[in-house]
Amino acid sequence: MQRRNVLKAGLLATTLTFVGGAGAFADDGKRIAFFVSDLSNVFHQSQAAEAERYAKEKYGAEVVVFDGQADSAVMTQNVDQVVAGGFDAATLHIWDAEAATPGVEDALADEIVMTSFFSPITDTGIPTARSDEAAVSFEMGAQMAKAWKEAHPDKPIVMVQLGWPNHTEVNSGRTAPFAEGVLSVDPDAENLGALDSSKGQEAAKQIIVDLLTQRPEVNLIYSEASNLTVGTMAGLAQLGRGKFDNGKPLTEIVASVDFDSVEFEQVYDPNSSLKASMGLPPVETAQGRIDLIMDVLDGKVERTSDTAEEFFYKAYTVSYWSMPKEEAEQWLKDQFGG
Amino acid sequence: MTDQAVEGRRLAARDNRLSDEMFITSLVAGAAVALFLLASILVPNFFQFQNVVNLVTNNWAVISLGIGVTFLLVSGNFDLSVGGVVALSGVLAVWFAQAADGANALSSGWGMPTWLAMFCALIGAMLIGTVNAVFVVALRVPSIIVTLGTMMLARGIAQVITQGSQRNTNLPSDFGMLGNMAMFGSSIKMPVVLMAILILTAVFVERKTVFGRLTYLIGANPVASRLSGVDNARHVIKLYLFSAVMAGVVGILLASEFKSGFSNRGTLMEFDALVISLLGGVAIAGGFGSVIGMFFGAIILATVTSAATGLVLSPDWQFTLKALAVFIAIMAQSWALARRHTG
Amino acid sequence: MIVQTAFAEKAQEKALSVRELTKDYPGVRAVDTVSFDIDRNTVHCLVGENGAGKSTIVKMLTGALTPTSGSMAILGRDYEPGSTQDARESGVGTLFQELHVVDQLTVLENLTLGMEASRFGFLVKSDLENRVVKTLAAIEPTIDPKARVSSLSVAQKQIVEIARAASSGASIIIMDEPTAALSEREVERLFGVIRRLRDSDVTVIYISHKLDEIFELGDNVTVMRDGKHIATKPLAEVNGRPELIEMMVGRAITHDYEPRGEIAGNPVLNVKGLSNHLLKDVSFHVNEGEIVGFYGLVGAGKTEVARAIYGADKADGQIDFKGRKRAASPKEAIAAGIALVPEERRTQGLFTELTIRRNIPIMNIRKLASFGIFQDEREKEVAREYVGMLGIATNSIEKYAEKLSGGNQQKVVLSKCLFADADMLLLDEPTRGVDVGAKSEIYDLIRDLANNGRAICIFSSELEEVLGICDRVFLMYDGQVQATIKNGAEVDIPHILNVVTGGGSENT
């Protein structure tokens, strides 16, 4: 079946010649392991679908998606599958880099091209593709703080984040820059810190209900994944919160990550308190991850380097205040196929 | 007074005291109240009515599961499959209800009306309960092994149906009604009220009916109960089906509340349900315990969780604190019961 | 001459002497001023009926019980074991009926288990192992020390236990019914082991119901009856089974009951060809209003007959109760009107952690419910009624069953059966562990029930009991009914004992 790809693969003649010279790969298309942390997430679903499509169309390569099931142990086990499964290349999405390091080194020793997405894998030095999340988190924090201060200049800002407090990249890309963004507008804002919602939307709901009952003064909430935001908004609703008054903040403002069609309705609803979300473009991300692999195969990027090379792909700030509704709609269509 | 008379009075005094079950239940309830008051001192704003309401409303799912799990534990059997059944029944309900003409595999289902989809999902849950019953009762495999297996089986099926992820599109508009129905014009949702009704019913069944009596007899001494003419097998089958129905209802209501069928939903819920039962004084070997105790066990755990959230503790500390609470509570019970029997 | 003197000295040095040993339980004197000696390097048999006091003596010898008064001595030195550990350290080993070997370990590991720490702490391991292997080879060379115990037969496991006792320096080994679970060939092998032990400076105290074994193996015998010492003499001087049996049962068994012989009522129970793993072709019938007894030793198959009729065990053959088909479960049996008082009161008959009130209605629990809802007040009435009717000594129906005496517990179990409205009662060891007063009350109750037309089967290993209350007695041995006797003044007790100990059968 992969024979049929040979013609298409002609486009890659230079790559094939190069690789053929290296003698390491067959000439009828590559098998690429494409890791995602959690396939229950719409973003990762789209990303995986796009990677399968894009790799086949552009490079004649076969993509196999590995679901980490939001469980770092599963992700680590999946790394071992790369060697066992006879893959030519892999783009990893790993939460516990330490645990995965030996597996990655085994794979490198087997001449498998290893790249990472989101987090570098410790000192293996494999190239890493990342979305530029920190800039977006910062911008959302700043916008929300500004909006709050305009509406309620007398109420001090109290912020909280819901997500994965022990996770380095979530921390550096979301939690910390968000707080910095808020503080850049109001240096007196109080930051309660991050709460563990890794169990999912029921956990997020429960935490919001508990927390806001005891600390009703919380007014900026960063819900660090779209499936958590479902729980966050449900919790707020149960407490009679979660509302805006025709574009004006009442009790709190919520930001999310992984903007999707469900969030679209809320962000552009002038009566919902969800007002911003990080738009992670699955299409560009998937293409970027596949391209990075091909660049390595092509010799344009080193297989490993002393400090991992990082390649950033743009992330979008989708916001009630800064992105018009039509633009957001178009963005969704482009990224998620509408 | 003769020794015998003294002894007689001592025995009479003991017979007039609470039964062991009532004793432990009051102990657990007392501990829950004490813990709440302690948290009120340590955590700002903890002491308020809304927070008490939250303790119950946040935990309706696990408490409902705890009812079936408690009955089974009292009869001397485990049910670790409830978390998996929660995931499976939710995923099934969504899948059956999704319109058949979705754009991709994850957005197309069977196009059943909501009520039928939920009913069929409940049948799915009962099938898992049937598997439990067959292996435990007919083939005499230890229940902890059987239900550990069906726990993974149920979740595995859910993962196959959702391709390891979730189904949340293309649902009929009334799918979210049941799980989000507000009751009495307050913010309290229907599932919470249902839980309250189930708890009261369960207490009645446990205390006042033949069914409840048989459950205790089987757990207390399965050999004697069989020789006394109790059909142990039939009763345990009923209990497994009941527990599966409870888990099925919880799963369907959660799916309705979040309008999604999520294959990872209810992860670790089976252990939470087990832990609150044990916290509530249910004997792991069977024959002893009560649903009301389990309820207060859940409140103890919820109080710790809620206080930890209010203090914005790190996940490691939250976990440690919960483990500590469970450990202390269970040790205290064994100690109190032992003292009562020697004292 | 020198040799003779040494021998005489040795003979005076008794392996074990017991002087005026007494053990009292509340209301019962289980062992009554017993004195006897056990010669060194002999197989000394201890015989007597159930309840004669044998096992109480064994428990005192092994340190499990402390005597009320009296003394014991080993090789002339005072012996006062405070625990089974003490007994072991004084050189008294025991082969229990239930085995204490660890299946997962090898024979050698089992033999050395725990010894390094306790007794041979100063020995290096290989010395210990050599010694143990030698001991095992001496008593049974066919067992491979490296074999895993799980691969051995029950008999071989027993021998491993004996070897463990012997190699830990036991000079006396007590064996309580060691052949109960063994086949004939295995019994022969065990006897070989016992003889070799005797020849290597070990004294064996051997307890068995099987009189043939005693004549085959024993050097001396001590006979006990009703807690009293009857005789100790060389078996060579015993005039065969009849004399031994006569010593065991004494002269007369007191009858305060006039047996009625076979009652000519309608047969309610007909059993034909009942067989299972233990039973061989058991057939009998019971008439309305009749009290029949099943008498035999432990393991003769009495309990199995009861359980098969009750539907608790599977069995082949025909059981016809009042023209109905046999019960497939206890539930069906109860529905048909059969109720069982099981052998093990505390684990099979009673819910010890429940109160008297909760226990009584269990066998017919739906009678106290309407539409599935339990009537607490009715339950209390019923409990009070039965407590009064059976004379259960308690100050409250809310007392936990575990707090009651054996006799009162048994009355609660009987109440359960009566509340089930049974037409036929199967009573398995109905007065085991019951004091004398409660015993006669229970007998009175049984007679009343029979006079009211109920059929009653009593399964007992106490001859006094079956002769004291039954109209007809089925004698069981080895899973079979060997003989049926009509109870009465002219009952031939030695004949009965002969039959139930395997001495052949002929109907009287």
pLDDT tens for each residue of B160-193: 898 777 888 888 989 999 988 888 877 788 999 9
pLDDT tens for each residue of B36-49: 999 999 888 899 99
Question: Rounded to 5 degrees, what are φ and ψ at C506?
Answer: -155, 140
Provide mean pLDDT across the span B330-343: 74
Taking contacts as CB-CB distances below 8 angstroms, the residues of chain A near B303 are none
Rounded to whole angstroms, the Cα distance separating C132 from B98 reads 74
CATH of domain C256-337+422-508: 3.40.50.300
Q: Which of A35, A36, A39, A40 to probe by mutation at the B interface, max B CB count within 10 Å?
A: A40
Q: Which of C400, C414, C428 to probe by mutation at the B interface, max B CB count within 10 Å?
A: C400
Contacts of C423 (CB under 8 A, 6+ apart): C268, C322, C337, C338, C453, C454, C455
For residue A14, pLDDT over 70 is answered with no
Look up residue C345 and give its DSSP letter.
I
Residue B107 pLDDT level (bands cut at 50, 70, 90): confident
Taking contacts as CB-CB distances below 8 angstroms, the residues of chain A near B264 are 40, 69-70, 200
- E strand or H helix at C380: helix C376-390
| Mean pLDDT of chain B, nearest integer | 88
Share of chain B above pLDDT 90, in %: 61
Instruction: Pick one of 3.40.50.300, 3.30.429.10, 3.40.50.2300, 3.30.70.20 as the CATH number of A2-126+281-313.
Output: 3.40.50.2300
Q: What is the mean pLDDT of each run of 10 residues along chain C (508 residues)?
A: 44 81 82 91 87 84 89 89 85 78 81 59 63 79 83 81 81 85 77 87 87 88 89 88 78 55 80 91 92 87 93 91 87 94 90 90 90 88 91 86 86 94 93 76 89 92 85 91 85 83 61
Taking contacts as CB-CB distances below 8 angstroms, the residues of chain C near B211 are 372
Distance (Å) of CA A140 to CA A194, A220, A267, C226, C443: 17, 11, 13, 95, 90
The domain locations on chain A are 2-126+281-313, 133-280+318-336
pLDDT for position C6: 43
pLDDT for position C126: 67
For residue A68, pLDDT over 60 is answered with yes
Provide mean pLDDT across the span B146-160: 94
- E strand or H helix at C477: strand C472-477
Is residue C450 a contact partner of residue C460, using CB atoms and an 8 Å limit?
A: no
Which DSSP string corresponds to B71-89? Answer: HHHHTT-----HHHHHHHH
**Residue B15 within a domain:** no
The answer, yes or no, to whether A and C have at least 3 beta-carbon pairs within 8 Å is: no
Residue range of the domain that includes B302: 20-342
Contacts of C314 (CB under 8 A, 6+ apart): C276, C308
Q: Which amino acid is at A126?
A: I
pLDDT tens for each residue of A78-113: 888 888 888 999 999 988 888 888 889 989 998 899
For residue A299, pLDDT over 90 is answered with no
Does domain A133-280+318-336 correspond to CATH entry 3.40.50.720? no
Contact A238 B163 (CB under 8 A): no
Contact B262 A40 (CB under 8 A): yes
pLDDT for position B245: 97
pLDDT for position C346: 84
**Ranges in chain C annotated CATH 3.40.50.300:** 10-249, 256-337+422-508
pLDDT for position C487: 84
**Residue B12 within a domain:** no
pLDDT for position C458: 95
Is residue A128 a contact partner of residue A120, using CB atoms and an 8 Å limit?
A: yes
Task: Using CB atoms, list chains with 3+ pairs below 8 Å to chain A.
Answer: B
Q: Specify the CATH number for the domain of residue B240.
A: 1.10.3470
Ramachandran category for residue A242: left, alpha or beta (phi over 0 → left; psi -120 to 50 → alpha): left
Is residue C38 a contact partner of residue C75, using CB atoms and an 8 Å limit?
A: no
Is residue B333 a contact partner of residue B27, using CB atoms and an 8 Å limit?
A: yes
B58 has a chain A CB within 8 A of its CB: yes
Token pair 């005076």 in the structure block, residue: C12
Share of chain B above pLDDT 70, in %: 94
Fold of domain C10-249: Rossmann fold (3.40.50)
pLDDT tens for each residue of A30-46: 899 999 988 777 778 88
| Higher pLDDT among residues A226 and C437, named by residue | A226
For residue B273, pLDDT over 70 is answered with yes
ipTM: 0.83
| Higher pLDDT among residues A10 and A239, named by residue | A239
Does this chain's domain A2-126+281-313 share its CATH topology with A133-280+318-336? yes
Which DSSP string corresponds to C95-158? Answer: E-SS----TTSBHHHHHHTTHHHHT-TTS-HHHHHHHHHHHHHHH-TTS-TTSBGGGS-HHHHH
pLDDT for position A17: 34
Contacts of B319 (CB under 8 A, 6+ apart): none
B214 has a chain C CB within 8 A of its CB: yes
For residue A23, pLDDT over 70 is answered with no
| Mean pLDDT of chain A, nearest integer | 85
